[in-house]
Amino acid sequence: MKRSVTAKLGMTDVRQSAWQGAFGNWAALFAGAILPLSLAPFHLYPLAVLSLLILFLSWQDICPRKAFWRGGLFGIGLFGVGVSWVFVAIHVFGQASVLLAGFLTALFVVALSAMTAILGFLIKRLTGPRISSIDYVLLLPIFWLLFEWFKAWFLTGFPWLEIGTGQIEGPLAGIIPVLGVYGASWLVALTAGCLAVFISRRKWPFLGVALFIWGGAWLLQSVAWTQPTGKPITAALVQGNVPQEIKWDPQQLRNTLQLYADLSRQHWDADVIVWPENAATAFYHQLEEGYLAPLGQEARAHDTEIILGLPVLDDNGNDYYNSMVSLTEPPAFYHKRHLVPFGD
């Protein structure tokens, strides 16, 4: 009996020492890299739970300094994969060289990774070397939720890679109408915390909590949270697919406007026709009389409304907006209020 107990303790020590060494560092990096795969277009939603589970386990039995390092590695994996499109935005559309675009993208990834690094440091400062079961299911999920909220707010915000958005294809979609995307993110982190307790301490009730969360959310998918009001409307989305490199060329403007007018005329049977953001590459006041007003009048003659995106210059002549305009009578405007880095 003594020999059996000693063997079990030895295996536990081996597993813990493995997490404390280089394996834990690589695991944290891997965990961050797979998290974006839980989001569109991959929709591998269980990977969000696996990602946070590995991260939480990697923080066990280490000091705050090492937790800072592993949080940073997790962030490098997460943002290195999840925001790689920034390189395209800088190199292709910003016309920066490959080296400059690569450097700026890497700098951006490291800056974002500082948030997950600080997250790990703060958690370990509060928990000490040993993360308790209560810490796994209470402290860590709450801190993850605060991280996602802070990321979406700090310096105008970076509202990408919230893990709750990837759950729209899974069982937790049933809870999103109740708790929202951040609520789904919290439940993913809570599930990871429960599984961490079960794996590290074999406490079966925590596995039951995880199953209850996902099973209950799955049952909620059968609830109809909204009810239709009035008769259905038909909508048509038109996309000109004008190449970005010529889209803003003034010589291309006439062709672009003609393209969207022709595409719209193919859908006069729709109640609403929607153009993309900045489909018209000139200010509203420059197109109002000669193009937008006649097009709106033609659309209304077919009982159709057109909603389009274009820049709008303020009456003061100094401020301008990225706007959506409805060609009703009179026209209605929506000005975008929250611009985000690399997206606008």
309 and 279 Cβ atoms separated by less than 8 Å: yes
Among candidate residues 190, 220, 250, the one where a domain is terminated? 220
**SS3 of residue 325 by DSSP:** strand
CA distances from 188 to 49, 76, 209, 309 (A): 6, 21, 12, 36
Domain with 322, as residue range(s), is 235-335
3-state per-residue secondary structure call for 117-186: HHHHHHHHHHHCCCCCHHHHHHHHHHHHHHHHHHHCCHHHCCCCCCHHHHHHHCHHHHCHHHHHHHHHHH
Q: What is the pLDDT of residues 31-88, one digit of tens each?
A: 999 999 999 999 999 999 999 999 999 999 999 999 999 999 999 999 999 998 888 8
* 130 part of a folded domain: yes
Q: What is the pLDDT of residues 244-292, one digit of tens each?
A: 778 889 999 999 999 999 999 999 999 999 999 999 999 999 999 999 9
Same domain flag for 255 and 210: no
Give the pair of three-digit tokens for residue 79: 């943002």
Rounded to whole angstroms, the Cα distance separating 170 from 221 reads: 10
Same domain flag for 130 and 272: no
Q: What is the pLDDT of residue 36?
A: 97
* 343 part of a folded domain: no
pTM of the model: 0.82
Q: What is the pLDDT of residues 163-222, one digit of tens each?
A: 999 999 999 999 999 999 999 999 999 999 999 999 999 999 999 999 999 999 999 999
Among candidate residues 220, 255, 289, the one where a domain is terminated? 220
* 344 part of a folded domain: no
Q: Do you find a cis peptide bond into 330, omega within 30 degrees of 0? A: yes
Same domain flag for 257 and 143: no
Same domain flag for 205 and 251: no
DSSP 252: G
